[in-house]
Each structure stands twice: as structure tokens, then as C-alpha cells.
């Protein structure tokens, strides 16, 4: 009688182990073949554009309500003073929402940060002067003569396109004040970005 026939239980046990190992390997291969969906970053392309764009972003104070006028004035000065190679982009962040006033609904746009304009430029004495002396501009945010640029993360938070709401419903705001009334505008996000930018500049100077 052969040695194999003397241990039939052992043969069955080893066969079961081999079968189990094969099943485990097949299961591992199956799991490896399952593609895990990777959530796409909606701002990835915008971030790459920021990184590759020349210049740095600075924040400029303007008279509230004159942000678009300041943008137009500065664009004219760029052409007149031939500053196209130093001042590249001017942005007045806006948001769109549905407004309900006196029972009537309409879609309107408004400035996200009243009294502020963002400018992308290479900071030189000439570009600083071109921006600072633009009608409607009251100064750079931060050190008046040596302003601190925003970080790319800060610029992204301010300028990146807002993702569409999943339910597809627009923001609706009820307006219960009249033209001429005094209102308080809260700009915590921009103020926080500016505060962080000023702190980082002070750290670099120290």
C-alpha cells in the first residue's frame, strides 16, 4: 500500500488548503481589477492656470460701488502707460443669485467683496504707481508702498468658480431694505485672507 493511501485525511486537508489558496488568489485579483473611482478636483485646471500665470495677485482698496469703474480706469491706464508687460489681469469677484423684493423675483449679480479689486501684476515702482494713481483707488491693502501678494491658495478661494449646487436650485435672497438705507457688509473671508497674507509677510521680513 502506498504512503499516500495511509493518510487519506491529510490528502483531503491539503487539497482543501490548495483550493482555498486558489480562491483567495482569485478574489485578490478580482479586487485589484475593480477600479476605485477617483473624485475629480473641479478646481484642478483653475489651479494650474494660476500656477503658470505670470505676476502675483494684490488686493486694492477702492470706493465702494466703484469697483467696475476702477477696473475700467485701470485698463485704460495700462494701455495709455504701456504697462501690458507688467499688469496682466484685473478682477472684481461677483456672484449671481435670485433676489425677491416686493414679491418680485429676478436674477442679479453683485460684488462679493465691495470696496476691493484684485490685480495680477509684476510689482515695480512703475506698476505700483500705475495702479495706485488710478482714479477711484484708495491704496493697496497691507503696507502702502510694499504690499504683500496673496498666496495661490488665497487667490483660489477668492476667484475659483463656485461649484454648482447638487439640487440645481439657485440661492434665493429676500431683500427687505430700500435704496438709500445704511447696511453692514460682512467680508470675513477676504479679511481673513488679507490678515493671513499680512502675517506671512511680517514673518518673511523677520
Q: Give the tens place of pLDDT for each residue, 50-61.
A: 999 999 999 999
DSSP, collapsed to helix, strand or coil, labels residue 191 as: helix
Query: Based on the number of CB atoms within 10 Å of its own CB, is 35 exposed (0-12), middle (13-18) or buried (19 or more)?
Result: exposed
Those residues with Cβ within 8 angstroms of residue 148's Cβ, 6 or more apart along the chain or in another chain: 58, 142, 197, 198, 200, 201
- pLDDT of residue 36 exceeding 90, the answer is no
Of 166 and 108, the structure prediction assigns the larger pLDDT to: 108
Of 189 and 67, the structure prediction assigns the larger pLDDT to: 67
Residue 143 confidence class, pLDDT cut points 50, 70, 90: confident
Amino acid at each position: 500500500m502506498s504512503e499516500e493511501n495511509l493518510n487519506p485525511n491529510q490528502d483531503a486537508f491539503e487539497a482543501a488548503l490548495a483550493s482555498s489558496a486558489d480562491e483567495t488568489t482569485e478574489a485578490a485579483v478580482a479586487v485589484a481589477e475593480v477600479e476605485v473611482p477617483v473624485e475629480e478636483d473641479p478646481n484642478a485646471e483653475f489651479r494650474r492656470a494660476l500656477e503658470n500665470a505670470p505676476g502675483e495677485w494684490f488686493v486694492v482698496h477702492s470706493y465702494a460701488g466703484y469697483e467696475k469703474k476702477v477696473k475700467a480706469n485701470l485698463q485704460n491706464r495700462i494701455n495709455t502707460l504701456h504697462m501690458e508687460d507688467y499688469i496682466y489681469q484685473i478682477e472684481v469677484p461677483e456672484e449671481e443669485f435670485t433676489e425677491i423684493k416686493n414679491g418680485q423675483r429676478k436674477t442679479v449679480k453683485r460684488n462679493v467683496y465691495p470696496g476691493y479689486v484684485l490685480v495680477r501684476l509684476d510689482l515695480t515702482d512703475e506698476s505700483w504707481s500705475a495702479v495706485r494713481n488710478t482714479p477711484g483707488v484708495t491704496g493697496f491693502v497691507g503696507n502702502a508702498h510694499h504690499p504683500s501678494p496673496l498666496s495661490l491658495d488665497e487667490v483660489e478661494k477668492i476667484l475659483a468658480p463656485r461649484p454648482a449646487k447638487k439640487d440645481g436650485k439657485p440661492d434665493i435672497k429676500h431683500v427687505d431694505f430700500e435704496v438709500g438705507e445704511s447696511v453692514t457688509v460682512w467680508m470675513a473671508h477676504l479679511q481673513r485672507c488679507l490678515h493671513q497674507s499680512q502675517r506671512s509677510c511680517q514673518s518673511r521680513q523677520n
